[in-house]
Amino acid sequence: MPRIALDCGDSYDSVIRPTVIQVIDKVKKVTGLSNVKTLFTGDPQNTPQIGGSLNGEAKDVSFSNEEYLQLEVRTQYVDSDMLTNNVFARGNIPLFNDPELGVVVTPVVGHTQVTISVKYKAQSKNSAERWISEIKRRTAQGFKELIHESDYHYLIPKEILVILDQIHQRRENVAPYGEDLNTYLNKHFHPKVTWLSNQSGQRKALGVRERQTNILGYFDFESVPELEKGENGNWISTFDYVVQFDRPHSVVMQYPLVVHNQLLDPRFFDDSENFNLNLEMYLSTAFNQGLDVIAHRHRLPALSTIMGYSVPAFDEWLPTSVPMGTSTMARILLAVDEQNPRYLCNIEELGDFALIDEVITYLKERHEFATVLGACPVFFSLYQDHTRMSDSVLAMDEEGNLFTTVDLSLRRVYHLRVGVYNDLTLLNQETLEDIRINGRFAQILLTALEPQLKDDPLIELLPDGRMPKRQFWDAIAKIKGTNAMYKNKIEVSRFTVASLMLTANRPSQYA
């Protein structure tokens, strides 16, 4: 699924300034300065900002010895949070969530420290000393910290709305729900998402109104601030007040490549991305590229290591779970045929991924087992969205055609996983014997799982094309994925259903 992260606009005006204003209002109240004017003008080189005067209507005339608080603000992200916070982690409540399609929009927050430098100008020395006495009393009582609340808003980027509109169009083109765009958005947006506008009601934009509680603030001084006499006869005291809170700064969106059996427009995802690039550096055939993941998984990046070859190359879909002891050779995005919703594809037509002839022949001859776990070393699984469907849903005929026993939904996304057992001991006894008898296929499979066996005399065949049983098991023991209990050169145990231990007590001769 594509994922994008977008900045949510100027969060200084919409988040920082409202928070500072509400914090200072409480500081003024607890220090007895409720009626003192506050100046928060920001950069003097810029035009006056919203909230520049906090005491209502500005006076026509201001005198130089007027009493007021002047604020300067410095913000910085907390370094430890920047290093540990994953932008794409889903730690926050989604702003938009459509679980049916897998569309999720979440905010990204950063722990931010705001240092408010406050300059208090008093009209008289008595007023200044009274305020200093209040600070001394609070400090002596251990009340240097305060708990704050903040109401603010931030905008949802317009690009998010454009993508949601595209998804809605695809949603209503095929197997529609009969919902218009407004109904769809209102159904899946969080209640705190609303339309915002300026004071004249113009320039509406979609945004989020939030209240953040339990914001810790404290006076950042070791001793009580001293008074200084200003040039105009004012008495001046300066101090810093620090608050730390979670500042929303970006929005992350995750959405599917396919909506109701339709691929999104290429402008909404990077179709030049190639998640197979690392695999293509190794072996020539697509089949061996997939199997090479098993033998060289310590040398490949995580995506290629775990999930094999992707068709198409720009699809980064990964299953959430796979059967134990198996590795993925390919994961193939499927389209549902509206005229024949049970047909998937033929194993000879898997896009850019290709099985070699010997494997195709082997699978066709054993087509009834190719979709059953434990019954075939190379097998096929069907995933609906991220969930693996039952073996009984998928089947193959003697021509190599894969089909389902139920109609597929046009509203869901399907992937075909081509898997291989990296621990052959998990296969049933009949399958292992069948592999050994088909010696040429056994050679291909064993050397794919462990390339060092390529020139090993262990995998030499008998004149009738079979592989000797002892050599076959010795070769399996050399495969890295084989369970350690089967690497015992003295004794090999094969559990079928369970292991039992019987303890017999000999009766006493006097009984």
pLDDT over 60 at 49, yes or no? no
DSSP annotation string for 260-307: TTEEPPGGGS-TT--TTTTGGGT-SSHHHHHHHHHHTGGGS-HHHHHH
Measured between alpha carbons, how far is 168 from 179 in angstroms, rounded to an integer? Answer: 9
pLDDT over 80 at 302, yes or no? no
* pLDDT given for residue 487 in this prediction: 55
Give 471-485 as a 3 state SS string: HHHHHHHCCCCCCHH
Could you tell me how far CA 5 lies from the centroid of its own chain? 11
Supply the DSSP symbol for 44: T
Could you tell me the pLDDT band of residue 81, with boundaries at 50, 70 and 90? Answer: low
Residue 300: CA count within 13 A, CB half-sphere:
25
Residue 81 token pair: 């949070």
CB 281 within 8 A of CB 302: no
Kindly report whether the peptide bond that precedes residue 312 is cis, defined as omega within 30 degrees of 0: yes
Lowest-pLDDT range, 78-82, 327-331, 399-403, 457-461?
78-82
Residue 70 token pair: 């002047």
- What is the per-residue pLDDT across 91-109, written as a single tens digit (0 to 9) for each? 788 999 999 999 999 998 8
- What is the per-residue pLDDT across 436-481, written as a single tens digit (0 to 9) for each? 999 999 999 998 888 888 888 888 999 999 999 999 998 888 887 7
- What is the per-residue pLDDT across 357-396, written as a single tens digit (0 to 9) for each? 899 999 999 999 999 999 999 999 999 998 999 989 999 9
For 130-139, which contacts have Cβ atoms below 8 Å and span 24 or more sequence positions? Answer: 130/32, 131/31, 131/32, 131/33, 131/237, 132/224, 132/225, 132/227, 132/237, 134/31, 134/32, 135/31, 135/219, 135/224, 135/225, 136/224, 138/30, 138/31, 139/219, 139/224
* pLDDT given for residue 237 in this prediction: 78
* pLDDT given for residue 124 in this prediction: 75
For 54-59, which contacts have Cβ atoms below 8 Å and span 24 or more sequence positions? Answer: 54/21, 54/24, 54/25
* pLDDT given for residue 212 in this prediction: 93
Q: Where are the domains of the chain?
A: 3-42+64-258, 282-494
* pLDDT given for residue 360 in this prediction: 92
Could you tell me the pLDDT band of residue 283, with boundaries at 50, 70 and 90? Answer: very low
Residue 282 token pair: 């190794």
CB 294 within 8 A of CB 481: yes
Report which of residues 454 and 214 the model is more confident about: 214
* pLDDT given for residue 154 in this prediction: 92
Q: Which residues pair with 353 in a beta bridge?
A: 350
Supply the DSSP symbol for 90: -
Supply the DSSP symbol for 368: G
Q: Which residues pair with 196 in a beta bridge?
A: 205
* pLDDT given for residue 41 in this prediction: 65
CA dihedral 113, 213, 40, 25 (to 10 degrees): -130
Residue 271: CA count within 13 A, CB half-sphere:
8
pLDDT over 70 at 142, yes or no? no
Measured between alpha carbons, how far is 426 from 428 in angstroms, rounded to an integer? Answer: 7
Lowest-pLDDT range, 306-320, 337-351, 401-415?
306-320
Measured between alpha carbons, how far is 93 from 105 in angstroms, rounded to an integer? Answer: 9
Measured between alpha carbons, how far is 452 from 399 in angstroms, rounded to an integer? Answer: 34
Q: Hunting for tokens 């190639």 — which residue is that? A: 274
Percent of the chain with pLDDT over 90: 40
Lowest-pLDDT range, 198-207, 254-263, 405-414, 446-455?
198-207
Work out the number of other CB atoms within 10 angstroms of the CB of residue 58.
10
When the pLDDT of each residue in the chain is averaged and rounded to a whole number, the result is 80
Positive or negative, the CA dihedral 159, 164, 165, 167 is: positive
User: Taking residues 15-31, what's their average pLDDT?
Assistant: 88
Which of 295, 334, 326, 292 has its CA nearest to residue 309? 292
CB 78 within 8 A of CB 39: no
Q: Hunting for tokens 């995933």 — which residue is that? A: 383
Which of 305, 271, 250 has its CA nearest to residue 107? 250
* pLDDT given for residue 468 in this prediction: 92
User: Taking residues 332-361, what's their average pLDDT?
Assistant: 91
Residue 18 token pair: 């409202």
Lowest-pLDDT range, 29-33, 319-323, 432-436, 505-509?
505-509
* pLDDT given for residue 326 in this prediction: 87
* pLDDT given for residue 40 in this prediction: 79
* pLDDT given for residue 503 in this prediction: 67
pLDDT over 70 at 495, yes or no? no
* pLDDT given for residue 332 in this prediction: 93
